[in-house]
Amino acid sequence: MYLLKFFAGISLVVALGFAAACYFSPKLFINTAYTLVKQEFGDIPEASGATLNALIDSSAPDTAKNFILVDVRTPQERQVSVIPGAVDGDSFEHHLADHQHKKIIVYCTIGYRSGHYARTLREKGLDAYNLREGILGWTHIDGPLLDSHGQSTRRVHVYSHLWNLAVKDHIAVY
């Protein structure tokens, strides 16, 4: 009986410690949440925020990009902000033939919806990747965001109160 109480106590301390660490470090929570989400589609390749940032920086506006960024969030989420150059899922699907030979990077809030969509695209033979940790992870590397007027913004739709994990200098909307 003593051993059972000891392990229960240790488990409680570990759980509380993890909860406190996540409270003070949203990045830890995002990473953990994404790791759990990824289990559902673990075989789907991912692109890090740093990789995406490098692709965006290296793409000259007058040349055809060799990648496309697809935002699969709802219109209400996209109205708040998007990663520069992103297209919505409907526009992407409508012009799918134009992107057959491009790297396709898909994102949502944390990576769940985009992971499922990336899997669907890969099943169709397309070169699709899930953006690791979604737009929330993007805010943690200080990736740029644009509002619905194309202006720089620090607002980000975080899906719900539970997912309010953007960095402290961003304004969470849900």
Q: What confidence category does residue 148 fall into, taking pLDDT thresholds of 50, 70 and 90? A: very high
Region 146-155 average pLDDT: 97
Q: Give residue limits of the domains in the chain.
A: 2-173
Average pLDDT over residues 86-113: 96
**What is the per-residue pLDDT across 116-129, written as a single tens digit (0 to 9) for each?**
999 999 999 999 99
Over 80: is that where the pLDDT of 16 sits?
A: no
Superfamily of chain region 2-173: Rhodanese-like domain (3.40.250.10)
Average pLDDT in the chain: 85
Instruction: State the pLDDT confidence band at 59, using cuts at 50, 70 and 90.
Output: low
Q: What is the reported pTM? A: 0.82
| Measured CA distances, 3 to 12, 15, 91, 159, 160 (Å) | 14, 18, 59, 42, 40
pLDDT of residue 157: 96
